[in-house]
Amino acid sequence: MNIYIKLLLLFIFSINLSYGQIYKIEKIDINSKEISLHFNKEYPKHYIRHFKLLNPSRDVFDLKHTKINHSIHKKYFKIQQLKYQIVRVTIFSKKFKSRIYKPLFSHKLYRISLTKYLSIESISDNIIKKIRRKRELAKKRRAKHYKKIVKFIKYKPNIKSNEVIVIDAGHGGYDTGAIGGGKREKDLVLMIAKKLSKELKRRGHHTYMTRKSNKFVKLSKRTKIANRKKAILFISIHANSVGKKHRNKLHGIETFFLQKTRDAKSKRVAKRENRAVLKGTNRLSKNVIIDSVLSGPKIVESNKLAISVQGNIIKSLRQKYKGIRDGGVRSAPFWVLVGASRPSILIEVGYISHPKERKRLFNKTYQKVLVKGLANGVDKYLYNRKKEIDL
Ligand SMILES: [Zn+2]
């Protein structure tokens, strides 16, 4: 047979199937548990469409190619000829869990069972209330615990007046840094840097900020400031970011110290953070600079400082927040750290690209907890170093 004739026949056949046949509901039995629909002939199940409608919430069964003589309208349900060949059964009450099924050994019958939910709503309401109460209690407990640790500053190093900690808020001015959800890295890191300076001062430290406002500071100038101030530590604050593909996956806190790296991820971060300096500045081979710094003794100290700071940030945040990811201590050739002849670290306080972490990062309480941890890390490092020198 010709393929076109075959197709034509198939077409006619299918039209016949779907439009040729009309099913009639001849009788409807109703009791408190179910509605029984008696058809004039066997009714195909795939003609039934079951769905829910809201406001008010209702269960709907649409029966295609079906006719009914009279509509039925009761308190809990309605059966009507909705359109020319569609009969609609609507169950109004949320108390019922309705389901349509064909009883065994009866081809022409469909039943819609109305299983009572046994006020399932009130049960679920209670469960929700219980969960909420539990969560609130846990929150209160964590807050109490947090208050305790904030008061208790373990490590109090002896601080001399000439010991300045330089705090470097990354980017600034036209250099926005990373952007996520309309929020800019330069704004976030300035907020955190200011909080850190305040916290360290509260603990008796002397601090100096490479920028206190939204202005652009050359990377080379930042380390020069540290040298001029004879800083004992150099702490650079940044926020991380990834492209669309990993936006919802990657989050967490990472601390970097200067070192040549083979780690691809560190290289990626370094490449992004170095972008501002690669533009326009002199073309010194970066390897020459890095090598000269690498040969200095500060790498070990920077590494120690990084470990202390990273560990204490994570510890502090985890006491109050769930899902804090420890990205660990990494090494990377950051230009901002090049030339700083003192323990120097760069903290990526979180991913501005990650929606949930971004929300947290811009939250004042979160910033406070993060900064406390950071300051604890600084204090602990200085305390241990002092102990080493004293020995
Ligand atoms: Zn940055």
Average pLDDT for 352-370? 96
Average pLDDT for 351-358? 95
| pLDDT band, very low/low/confident/very high, at 118 (cuts 50, 70, 90) | very low
Give yes or no for residue 330 having a pLDDT over 80. yes
- Separation between Cα atoms, residue 209 and residue 225, nearest integer Å: 9
Quote the pTM value. 0.56
To the nearest whole percent, how much of the chain has pLDDT over 90? 39
CA of 324 to the centre of ligand 1 (A): 20
Give yes or no for residue 293 having a pLDDT over 70. no
CA of 274 to the centre of ligand 1 (A): 8
| pLDDT band, very low/low/confident/very high, at 39 (cuts 50, 70, 90) | very high
Return the minimum-mean-pLDDT range out of 132-141, 153-162, 169-178, 284-293: 284-293
Per-residue model confidence as pLDDT tens digits over 120-148: 444 456 666 777 788 788 778 767 765 65
Whether 198 contacts 206, CB under 8 Å:
no
Structural Rg of the chain based on CA atoms: 35
DSSP structure string for 144-201: HHHHHHHH---------TT-EEEEEE--BTTB---EETTEEHHHHHHHHHHHHHHHHH
Comparing CA positions, the residue from 241, 210, 240 lying closest to residue 227 is 210
Strand residue runs (E) in 200-292: 206-209, 233-240, 253-258
Average pLDDT for 245-253? 92
Range of 52-56, 113-117, 293-297, 316-320 with top mean pLDDT: 316-320
Enumerate the H helices of 247-363 as residue ranges. 264-278, 286-294, 298-318, 355-361
The owner of tokens 């602990």 is 380
- Letter for the amino acid at 332? A
pLDDT of residue 125: 63
The more confidently predicted of residues 1 and 111 is: 111
Whether 177 contacts 355, CB under 8 Å:
no
Whether 86 contacts 92, CB under 8 Å:
no
Give yes or no for residue 157 having a pLDDT over 60. no
CA of 200 to the centre of ligand 1 (A): 22
Average pLDDT for 372-379? 94
- Separation between Cα atoms, residue 230 and residue 224, nearest integer Å: 10
Angle between helices 185-202 and 364-390 (to 10 degrees): 50
- Letter for the amino acid at 290? I
CA of 294 to the centre of ligand 1 (A): 22
Average pLDDT for 227-247? 89
The more confidently predicted of residues 247 and 333 is: 247
Give yes or no for residue 284 having a pLDDT over 50. no
Give yes or no for residue 266 having a pLDDT over 70. no
CA of 255 to the centre of ligand 1 (A): 12
Whether 64 contacts 56, CB under 8 Å:
no
Comparing CA positions, the residue from 238, 237, 166 lying closest to residue 205 is 166
For residue 348, the cross-strand partners are 238, 254
Q: Label residue 2 left, alpha or beta by phi (over 0 means left) and psi (-120 to 50 means alpha).
A: beta
Return the minimum-mean-pLDDT range out of 257-261, 326-330, 360-364: 257-261
- Separation between Cα atoms, residue 270 and residue 140, nearest integer Å: 40
196: which 2 tokens?
Answer: 């850190």
CA of 149 to the centre of ligand 1 (A): 30
- Letter for the amino acid at 128? I
CA–chain centroid gap for 188, Å, is: 17
Comparing CA positions, the residue from 328, 275, 315, 311 lying closest to residue 384 is 311
| pLDDT band, very low/low/confident/very high, at 322 (cuts 50, 70, 90) | very high
Per-residue model confidence as pLDDT tens digits over 80-116: 998 888 999 998 876 667 788 888 878 889 988 877 6
DSSP structure string for 25-39: EEEEEE-SSEEEEEE
Per-residue model confidence as pLDDT tens digits over 43-89: 988 899 988 887 777 889 999 999 998 888 887 789 999 888 899 99
pLDDT of residue 38: 93
* CB hemisphere CA count around 336 (13 angstroms): 30
23: which 2 tokens?
Answer: 């099913």
- Separation between Cα atoms, residue 369 and residue 199, nearest integer Å: 11
| pLDDT band, very low/low/confident/very high, at 339 (cuts 50, 70, 90) | low
- Separation between Cα atoms, residue 371 and residue 377, nearest integer Å: 10
The more confidently predicted of residues 238 and 101 is: 238
CA of 185 to the centre of ligand 1 (A): 7
CA of 210 to the centre of ligand 1 (A): 14
- SS3 state of residue 356: helix
CA of 170 to the centre of ligand 1 (A): 5
CA of 206 to the centre of ligand 1 (A): 24
Q: Is the peptide bond before 44 cis (omega within 30 degrees of 0)?
A: no
CA of 264 to the centre of ligand 1 (A): 17
Give yes or no for residue 280 having a pLDDT over 50. no
The more confidently predicted of residues 5 and 110 is: 110
Whether 199 contacts 183, CB under 8 Å:
no
Per-residue model confidence as pLDDT tens digits over 172-216: 999 999 999 999 999 999 999 999 999 999 888 999 999 999 999
